[in-house]
Each structure stands twice: as C-alpha cells, then as structure tokens.
Amino acid sequence: MIACQTSGLSVAYHTEPVLRNVDFSVSAGAVMGIVGPNGAGKSTLIKAMLGLVTPLTGTSEFFGQSLSRVRQRVGYMPQFTSVDWDFPTTVRDVVLMGTYGRLGWLRRPGRAEKETAATAMAQTGITDLARRQIGELSGGQRQRVFLARALAQEPDLFFMDEPFQGIDAKSQRAIVSVLHRLRQAGKTVVIVHHDLATVQDFCTHVTLLNQTVVSCGPVDEAFTSEHLRHAYRVGDTEQGFFEPDNSRGPRVEVAP
C-alpha cells in the first residue's frame, strides 16, 4: 500500500525552479530518508506535498486521497518553526495542540487528549518540562516538544524536516528511539536528512534528490556510491567522497 505519492511535482520560487517533475512515492511502513545536497529542494518537496508551498505543476496524494480528506493522518515536524517563542503557553499546552486537528469545532481537549499528550511527552522525555514556558527551553528540548506535538496528533504518516539539526546528544537519542518505535508500530516516516553517514542507521528507503529524483527505493538499491556521486554532482575521479558501507548490510529490516 502507498502511504503517499506525488507525480510531476515542480516548484519554482519566483522564476527559479527548485524541483523539476519529481515523482515520488512512499510505501506504508517505510522510513524514507530524503537525501541530497544543499539547495536540492528536500524541504521544498515536503512543503509542496503538504500544501505549504504552491507547486507549479503536479499533484500529491495521501493514502490514495487528497490531503484535505486525510489531514488528521498526516503529521509534520518542520525544520525552522514559525513559532513565536514568547507566546504565553506551556510545553504541555503545545503538545496538546497536536490533538486540536481531530477535535472539531468548539470541543475542548478532554481526558483522552490529555493522556495522548502525556504519552507523547513521556516518549520524547520531556515530561518534567511540562509546565515550562516554551521559550525557556534549549534547542534540542524545543525539537522534542515539536516531535511530541506531532506524536500527539497520532498520524499514520510523519514528515520530519532535518530533526537532528543542531541538537544535543540526549535529544538525538530520544528522537532516534521514537523513530524506531514508530517503525515497529507500522507507521510511515518521511525524513529529510543531511548526514550521509547515519542514513543507514534508521532509514529503510532512500530518495536521492537534486531538483529531480536521482534514485528512489530500498536503501541497498538507491543509496549507492554511483547514485550519490550523481546526486551530489561529484566527478568519478574525485577522491574522498562519501562511500556507503553496503558490505555491512542494512542495519534495519526493510518493512514488507
């Protein structure tokens, strides 16, 4: 089953094309890493799929339907949040916001929602920060709060944009453990990632992107030295470029 797919997606900022005719699909249960050099359009791909950026051409589907029909099943953790850090709100309240989408009009978060939020906070290790104002946290703690908010939404499909960017080791471990837990629960994750060395640690699938899709598939097929050189536009003669260690085999089992 396909969790999400997009076809013929092109995005231009003003008149500068960032993505050209991208075809991309993720099967349910996969942890799909989106990898590519700076300016490859990794974040733009996610944003265009989620309707945060208006694409020039192309369509996206989630679970075979348009996004507006299945919004509750799709979670998103942005790289740079548009958050107002001085906003008078606590960590618990922010995590609870994840449940707002499924509450309709006028209904207030009840016990079930509060329990969901508490579980999400426990999984990301921020339970003891619950009563803090959101601006009082460190970068890694903030990142975990937004992961917890995405978890509280209880989506089947997660989009994460560079969740490991500039955070401390403890937060990094917390996020990796959440990723493993999600995979075990059969959730689908699309994760923008820039560290080639750790891609194989938690991704089952990889998309190499540089304005267009260079390769897309299970890690051992798509994440090859040849594709990488292509995606990063590195010549064959240049030495010292990253070589994926495919000899050790995938460290995670590819989901069926």
Partner 1 sequence: MSDVLGALMGPGAFFDDHTFRMAFFGTAVIGLVAGALGSFAYLRKQSLISDVISHSALPGTLGAFLLAVVVLEVDGRNMAVLMLGAVVAGTLAVGLAQYVTRATKLSIDAAMAITLSLFFGAGMLLMRIISNGAYPGKGGIQDYLFGNASVITKADLIASISVGTAALVLMVVFWKEITLRTFDPDHSTVLGFHARAIDALMFITIVIAIVIGVKAVGLVLMVAFVVTPPSAARQWTRTLPAMVVLSGIIGGLGSGLGAYLSIAVGGVPTGPLIVLTLFAFLVLSLLLAPGRSLITRARGRTRHRRILLRQLVAEREAHIEPQGSTTLPGAGQS
Partner 2 sequence: MSFLLGATLVAVTMAMACALPGVFVVLRKNSMLVDGIGHAVLPGIVIGYAITQDLGSPWLILGAALAGLVVVLGNEYLTRTGLLAGDSPQGLVFPALFSIGVIMVTADFANIHLDTHAVLVGDLNLASFQQLTIEAPGRSPNLDLGPVYLYVMLAVLLVNVAFLAAFYRQLKLTTFDPQFARTLGIRSGALNTGFMFLVSITVTAAFNGAGAILVIALIVAPPATAYLLTDRLPVMIGLTVGIAGAGAVGGFWAAYAANAATSAGMSVFYGVVFLLVLAATRAARARRRRSSLQRTTGTRPTTPEQALIG
- Residues of this chain that bind partner 2 (CB under 8 A): 50-52, 68, 71, 74, 76, 78, 81-84, 87-90, 93-94, 97, 100-101, 103, 105-106, 133, 149
Kindly tell me which of 15 and 68 has the beta carbon lying closer to partner 1.
Answer: 15
Q: Binding of partner 1 at residue 252 (CB under 8 A)?
A: no
Q: Is 17 in the site for partner 1 (CB under 8 A)?
A: yes
Helix ranges (H only) for 153-235 are 169-184, 199-202, 219-222, 225-231
Q: What are the two backbone dihedrals, phi and then psi, of residue 220, each rounded to the nearest 5 degrees? A: -70, -20
d(CA 185, CA 212): 31
User: Closest Cα to residue 137, out of 77, 184, 95, 178?
Assistant: 95
Which residues inside 216-235 make contact with partner 1, applying CB under 8 A?
A: 216-217, 230-231, 233
Question: Around Cβ 83, how many Cβ atoms within 10 Å?
Answer: 15
Binding to partner 1 (CB under 8 A) within 154-213 occurs at 210-213
Our CB check for partner 2 shows the closer of 131 and 248 to be 131
Side chain identity at residue 19, one-letter code: L
Q: State the Cα–Cα distance between residues 5 and 44, nearest whole angstrom.
A: 15
Site residues (CB under 8 A) for partner 1, limited to 50-79: 56-57
CB closer to partner 2 out of 79 and 212? 79
| Residue 71 C-beta-side C-alpha neighbours within 13 Å | 11
Nearer to partner 2, 60 or 215 (CB): 60
Burial 188-216 (b: 16+ CB within 10 A, else e): bbbbbbbebeebbebbbbbbbbbbebbbb
Nearer to partner 2, 144 or 227 (CB): 144
- Shortest spacing between CB 78 and partner 1, in angstroms: 22
Interface residues with partner 1 (CB under 8 A) are: 8, 10, 12, 14-15, 17, 20-21, 23-25, 56-57, 86, 135, 210-217, 230-231, 233
